[in-house]
Amino acid sequence: MAHKISSFLSFLAILAALQLATAVDYTVTNTAAATPGGVRFTNDIGVEYTNQTLASATCFIWNTFQQNTENDRKNVASVSVFIDDMDGVAYASNNEIHVSARYIQGYSGEVKTEITGLIEGIADYVRLKAGYAPNHWVQPGQGDRWDQGYDVTARFLDYCNGLRDGFVAELNKKMRDGYNDGFSVDLLGKTVDQLWAEYKAT
């Protein structure tokens, strides 16, 4: 049960990080309070702890992505988190994060997402750096493609960041207007495929 709550909180922190900016006002609304997951949210997590987690995630994300000034950050005044009775785990829309009460309850259905493998990998890189990487993640060097997503891409990004401290932060900044494979050449002097081959060899 503690693992599920920890996974939920780290997932929530990552979603928040994707939506956050400067001085942010957080609101948390449990629209599924009568469901088992909604009751569990109230009893085991709560609004105050969620607000603290979001605020901590904000600072951690700003540091991880080297967003030291307001100009580096997305300008968002408030983020609203809703605990809903829905399928899936969570989704974000505008400055609202909707989290499934069923997931908090322990629902483990497939999570559908339209996010690319690299974006997923960056989100999991944040989990890795925050110390929330679960034991079931692949080990460094495992995986089929650098853009496979999630833990595979997170481990690869961690390797690249080890070659140049700040790599992921700089890559993240470059991706604001799109992505191209030339970013790795700009940042590390090698193609992403060369880096992947070196990573796999280590």
pLDDT at 26: 87
Last residue of a domain, one of 85, 105, 125: 105
What pLDDT, on the 0 to 100 scale, is given for residue 179? 77
The pLDDT confidence band at residue 59, using thresholds 50, 70 and 90, is confident
Tokens of 181: 């494979």
pLDDT in tens, 70-105: 787 777 778 888 888 877 666 767 766 665 544 443
The helix (run of H) or strand (run of E) holding residue 37 is helix 36-40
State which residues form the domain around 145: 117-201
Do 10 and 89 lie in one domain? The reply is yes
| Residue 193 belongs to a domain | yes
Say if 92 falls within a structural domain.
yes
Residue 103 has a pLDDT of 43
Per-residue pLDDT at 10: 63
pLDDT per residue over 31-58, tens digit each? 999 998 889 999 999 999 888 888 888 7
**Which helix or strand (DSSP H or E) is residue 197 part of?**
helix 192-201
68 and 161 both lie in a single domain: no
Residue 88 is encoded by which pair of tokens? 């899936």
Do 56 and 93 belong together in one domain?
A: yes
- 100 and 124 co-located in one domain: no
Q: Are strands 90-93 and 78-84 parallel, antiparallel or unpaired?
A: unpaired
Structure confidence at residue 109 as a pLDDT band (50, 70, 90): very low
Q: Are 157 and 123 contained in the same domain?
A: yes
Residue 92 and residue 6 share a domain? yes
109/47: higher pLDDT: 47
Residue 126 lies in a domain: yes
More confident residue, 65 or 193: 193
Q: Specify whether 195 is located in the same domain as 166.
A: yes
Task: Flag whether 110 is in a domain.
Answer: no
Residue 114: both structure tokens together: 């339209």
Q: Is residue 112 part of a domain?
A: no
Return the SS3 of 159: helix
CB 107 within 8 A of CB 4: no
Average pLDDT (10-28) is 63
Across 3-12, 45-54, 108-117, least confident range: 108-117
In a domain, 111, yes or no: no
User: What per-residue confidence (pLDDT) applies to 123?
Assistant: 81
Whether residues 84 and 150 fall in one domain: no
Which residue among 105, 140, 156 closes a domain?
Answer: 105
Number of domains in the chain: 2
Same domain, 18 and 53: yes
Phi and psi at 2, nearest 5°, equal -60, -35
Q: How confident is the model at residue 200, as a pLDDT?
A: 96
My answer on whether 142 and 88 are in the same domain is no
Residues 97 and 7 occupy one common structural domain: yes
Are 14 and 94 part of one and the same domain? yes
Last residue of a domain, one of 61, 84, 105: 105
pLDDT digits (tens, 9 = 90+) for 148-196: 988 999 999 999 999 999 999 998 888 777 778 899 999 999 999 999 9
At 192 the three-state DSSP class reads helix
Q: What is the dihedral of CA 86, 92, 95, 98, to 10 degrees?
A: 20
pLDDT at 107 over 50: no
Q: How confident is the model at residue 118 (pLDDT cuts 50, 70, 90)?
A: confident
DSSP for residue 44: I
